[in-house]
Amino acid sequence: MSIRLENIGKHFGATRALEPVNLDIHEGELVGLLGPSGSGKTTLLRIIAGLETPDRAGTRTPARILFGQRDVTHVHVRDRRIGFVFQHYALFRHMSVFDNVAFGLTVMPRRSRPSRGEIRARVFRLLEMVKLEHLANRYPAQLSGGQQQRVSLARALAVEPDVLLLDEPFGALDAKVRQDLRRWLRHLHEELNFTSVFVTHDQEEALELSDRVVVMSDGRIEQIDTPETLYRAPQNRFVFEFLGDVNHLEGQVHNGVLTCGDARLAVDLADGAQELLLRPHEVRLAEQPTSDCHLPVTVTAVSPIGAEVRVELAADWLAKPWLATVRHADFERLSLQRGKRLFAHPRQWHRFTDEAAGLLKPHAA
């Protein structure tokens, strides 16, 4: 079921949690709402669910929420046909896993309620899907966090909701379990193809899991795009900075050379103060400077874990240390270690100008 949001804003008292936003979510899509805390992403999700109501007064065009063709703006949460997964699971602790999953079916009005046997069969099918059928008689307190979250997912899916909404579903779990559950949710989504929206503050999670990501900050939608577009073509500085590590280079440009302390870099920019942004993988390390580029740095930390080696670089001319990722081969060739003096060479850099807000200017260096 597709979701259409029109003019959805929210104030809590005098504070504005959400500026009026519009959003279209296609049928079967898995959309991530990504943003720092206080960006309004959870508020937006709760409004979709019907757990909060959007502002009514003060907007010229009325707020509308459509599920497919159905206008659910004034429909109570219990009749909206949504499944909601809470960050802290919100399982009913006095009920067994089975009863938790069956809850939504057992509270249906008598006319539409499935028979006992049917409920049993459906619950076990769901428990099988979340791989917990052997724990049906346990109580939530006897399960691990990851298992509890799977129960809560099965519980939400039991009523066959039109849309599935997840509020920081993996936020309370440790890294390894999070990874597993993410992959598993992706599979489940491909298999059942439900429309779902999830909230996260973890960029990696959003980029890995979503078909499209909605980046939010300060109650506004900054950009809506596929993960690749978002990463390669961020529309503004906030998105660029939020989606990964960023190195800053601030300096004065004079006659095509940017200077900052004893650092120099040839750039084709107008004279004046400029700020360049670089991703860690856009920084190359070498033992010698070139005539165009003289950026002396000292290695302050090395973390050789993972596909690439992460190197922290410091210098007098840097307000904040830089982060660079180098291949293991280069790491060995340069015999990197703490205290080593090297020269940084930007492969490319980015610049966001204030006047043309939201325009990316990638440059090859």
Task: Enumerate binding residues for another protein (CB under 8 A).
Answer: 49-51, 77-79, 82-84, 86, 88, 90-95, 103-104, 107-108, 139, 141-142, 152, 155-156, 158-159
Q: Which is nearer to another protein, 147 or 217 (CB)?
A: 147
Residue 285 phi/psi, 5-degree rounding, is -110, 140
Shortest distance in whole angstroms from residue 228 CB to another protein: 33
Shortest distance in whole angstroms from residue 77 CB to another protein: 5
Q: Which is nearer to another protein, 108 or 359 (CB)?
A: 108
Q: Which is nearer to another protein, 88 or 116 (CB)?
A: 88
For residue 18, how far is the Cα from the chain centroid? Answer: 18
- Asked if 220 and 197 count as a contact pair (C-beta separation under 8 A), the reply is no
Shortest distance in whole angstroms from residue 132 CB to another protein: 16
Shortest distance in whole angstroms from residue 119 CB to another protein: 13
Q: Which is nearer to another protein, 52 or 282 (CB)?
A: 52
Residue at 217: amino acid letter: S
Shortest distance in whole angstroms from residue 90 CB to another protein: 4
Q: Which is nearer to another protein, 155 or 182 (CB)?
A: 155
- Asked if 301 and 336 count as a contact pair (C-beta separation under 8 A), the reply is no
Q: Which is nearer to another protein, 171 or 358 (CB)?
A: 171
Side-chain half-sphere CA neighbours of 3 within 13 A: 27
Q: Which is nearer to another protein, 30 or 45 (CB)?
A: 45
Which are the contacts of 93, defined by CB distance < 8 A and separation ≥ 6? 139, 140, 141
Cα of first residue to Cα of last residue in the chain, in angstroms, is: 47
Q: Which is nearer to another protein, 86 or 343 (CB)?
A: 86
> CA of 361: how far to CAs of 12, 139, 243, 264, in Å?
38, 55, 17, 20
Shortest distance in whole angstroms from residue 266 CB to another protein: 57
Sign of CA dihedral 335, 337, 343, 348: positive
Shortest distance in whole angstroms from residue 24 CB to another protein: 23
For residue 307, how far is the Cα from the chain centroid? Answer: 22
Shortest distance in whole angstroms from residue 97 CB to another protein: 12
Closest C-alpha among 27, 1, 41, 14 to residue 202: 41
Sign of CA dihedral 65, 70, 72, 78: negative
- DSSP summary character for residue 56: -
Q: Which is nearer to another protein, 144 or 290 (CB)?
A: 144
Strand pairing partners for 213? Answer: 32, 225
Tokens representing 237 are 């500085």
Sign of CA dihedral 109, 110, 114, 117: positive
Shortest distance in whole angstroms from residue 76 CB to another protein: 8
Which are the contacts of 305, defined by CB distance < 8 A and separation ≥ 6? none
| Residue owning tokens 């298992």 | 147
Shortest distance in whole angstroms from residue 144 CB to another protein: 11
For the chain, what is the radius of gyration of the CA atoms? 25
Q: Which is nearer to another protein, 155 or 189 (CB)?
A: 155
| Residue owning tokens 């440059």 | 363
